[in-house]
């Protein structure tokens, strides 16, 4: 039982650290999306707190839901399928939470907030694809996959 409590405390600490660091980058992307989609000037602090709160709320829901699924199914052979379904649900829940937070904190309609969140997600995906291409280009350029 002490091991489970230790894991839970470690998970909670990790969520706060991840939220603090991830929100630094997320705020820049969210500001760019708000400017691009809604021609809205959002301060960095407001964007940071929006990302931070979104991350914390989504993580709390994921932690509670994951704990409930784990307690319910235990060692069941269907645990992997249940976790997959839970992850899909949590992706949509996170998008809804972030849309609501953007709407409330940026004082825009839900429709405009949805567009801002989708644009931020698109920008984030584009950045990750560019970084992946650069990384793979470097790997191939340096011959890391070359045979002996």
Neighbours of 88 (CB within 10 A): 10
Distances in Å between the alpha carbon of 141 and those of 128, 136, 137, 145, 147? 20, 8, 6, 9, 14
Cβ atoms of residues 110 and 99 within 8 Å: yes
The residues near 79 (Cβ < 8 Å, ≥ 6 apart) are: 69, 70, 73
Best mean pLDDT range from 21-25, 76-80, 140-144: 21-25
- Global pTM reads 0.81
Q: How far apart are CA 5 and CA 2, in angstroms?
A: 5
pLDDT in tens, 20-77: 999 999 999 999 999 999 999 999 999 999 999 999 999 899 888 888 887 888 777 8
């Amino acid at each position: 039982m002490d091991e489970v409590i230790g894991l839970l405390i470690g998970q909670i600490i990790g969520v706060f650290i991840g939220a603090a660091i991830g929100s630094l980058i997320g705020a820049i992307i969210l500001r760019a999306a708000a400017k691009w989609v809604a021609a809205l000037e959002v301060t960095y602090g407001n964007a940071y707190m929006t990302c931070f709160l979104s991350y914390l709320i989504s993580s709390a829901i994921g932690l509670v839901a994951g704990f409930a699924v784990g307690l319910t199914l235990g060692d069941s052979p269907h645990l992997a399928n249940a976790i997959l379904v839970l992850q899909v649900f949590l992706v949509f829940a996170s998008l809804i939470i972030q849309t609501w937070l953007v709407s409330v904190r940026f004082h825009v309609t839900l429709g405009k907030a949805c567009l801002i969140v989708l644009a931020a997600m698109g920008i984030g995906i584009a950045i990750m694809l560019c970084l992946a291409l650069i990384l793979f280009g470097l790997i191939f350029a340096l011959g890391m996959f070359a045979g002996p």
